[in-house]
């Protein structure tokens, strides 16, 4: 069961990823059979008939002995696998979630309970992520951090089988940029070139610096014009008037 360490912690929104990795760990650990195999049923006790002879009774006991032995072996095997799997499942669940899950004696029933609780919440979380991703807007600060934040949201959709392509992520990032990036966005749209995430970040950072420098130059020009508009030539000294002789 060393494969358990590779299972992500169940946090609710990542149920599909968690269950997929859990199933893989059980398969590799060769204990997945306990999820579909019910607990062995103990053979019923033999009841001696009123007219049954000693020989007949002893024969039935001998015939029943292998069944009891087989049950004992299978029951120990099943109980150990069920116990270990149940402990492994609980060990991969976030403590705050663990307390909300009802207790069951079998790992199969325990997993069914988890499924009923978190399948719906995963879909709700996916809907919220998609909505946030589509409406996300860049309002200043580090443009790299903004893009990485959107990329992180997109990556959380992949375990739910709702992953988006890199091209679509680039499109969403472009849509999230403010108006002063309009020329930058238009140039990309008319270009045949396609960027990956690293190229997108690099080019957006460069564009931000270019806009910053352009705005700085514009602000200096406005400042210079204002200063010039307040400048007036020095007054000429008045010539002394000559009194008439």
Residue 223 has pLDDT above 60, yes or no: no
pLDDT tens across 174-213, in order? 999 999 999 999 999 999 899 999 999 999 999 999 999 9
30: left (phi over 0), alpha (psi -120 to 50) or beta: left
Whether 79 and 171 share a structural domain: no
d(CA 56, CA 166): 77
Task: Judge whether 82 lies within some domain.
Answer: yes
pLDDT tens across 86-120, in order? 999 999 998 878 888 899 999 999 999 998 887 76
Q: What is the mean pLDDT of residues 70-95?
A: 94
Task: Judge whether 124 lies within some domain.
Answer: no
Whether 70 and 109 share a structural domain: yes
Whether 35 and 92 share a structural domain: yes
Question: In the numeric block, which tokens belong to residue 85?
Answer: 């799997």
What is the domain extent for residue 190? 139-220
pLDDT tens across 139-171, in order? 888 999 999 999 988 887 887 777 788 899 999
Whether 114 and 8 share a structural domain: yes
- Read off the pLDDT band of 222 (50, 70, 90): very low
Q: How many domains does the chain have?
A: 2
Residue 219 has pLDDT above 80, yes or no: no
| Neighbour count for residue 211 (Cβ, 10 Å) | 15
Question: In the numeric block, which tokens belong to residue 111?
Answer: 């997993």
Percent of the chain with pLDDT over 90: 53
Whether 103 and 199 share a structural domain: no
Radius of gyration, CA atoms only, the chain: 38
- pTM of the prediction? 0.51
pLDDT at 38: 93
pLDDT at 128: 73
Q: With beta carbons less than 8 A apart as the criterion, state whether 40 and 68 touch.
A: no
The mean pLDDT of the chain is: 84
Whether 20 and 98 share a structural domain: yes
Whether 105 and 75 share a structural domain: yes
Task: Judge whether 177 lies within some domain.
Answer: yes
Task: Judge whether 128 lies within some domain.
Answer: no
Task: Judge whether 153 lies within some domain.
Answer: yes
Whether 79 and 156 share a structural domain: no
């Amino acid at each position: 069961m060393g494969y358990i360490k590779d299972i992500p912690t169940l946090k609710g929104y990542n149920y599909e990823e968690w269950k997929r990795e859990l199933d893989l760990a059980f398969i590799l650990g060769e204990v997945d059979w306990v999820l579909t195999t019910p607990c062995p049923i103990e053979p019923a006790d033999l009841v001696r008939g009123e007219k049954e002879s000693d020989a007949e009774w002893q024969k039935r006991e001998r015939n029943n002995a292998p069944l009891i032995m087989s049950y004992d072996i299978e029951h120990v095997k099943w109980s150990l696998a069920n116990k270990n799997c149940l402990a492994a499942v609980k060990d991969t669940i976030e403590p705050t979630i663990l307390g909300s899950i009802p207790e069951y004696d079998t790992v199969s029933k325990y997993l069914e309970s988890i499924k009923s609780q978190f399948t719906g919440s995963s879909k709700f979380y996916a809907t919220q992520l998609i909505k946030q991703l589509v409406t996300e807007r860049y309002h200043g600060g580090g443009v790299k951090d903004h893009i990485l934040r959107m990329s992180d949201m997109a990556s959380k959709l992949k375990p739910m089988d709702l992953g988006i392509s890199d091209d679509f992520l680039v499109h969403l990032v472009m849509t999230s940029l403010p108006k002063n990036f309009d020329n930058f966005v238009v140039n990309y749209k008319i270009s045949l070139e396609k960027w990956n995430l690293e190229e997108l970040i690099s080019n957006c950072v460069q564009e931000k610096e270019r806009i910053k420098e352009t705005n700085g130059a514009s602000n200096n020009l406005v400042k210079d014009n204002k200063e010039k508009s307040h400048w007036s030539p020095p007054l000429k000294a008045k010539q002394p008037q000559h009194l008439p002789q």
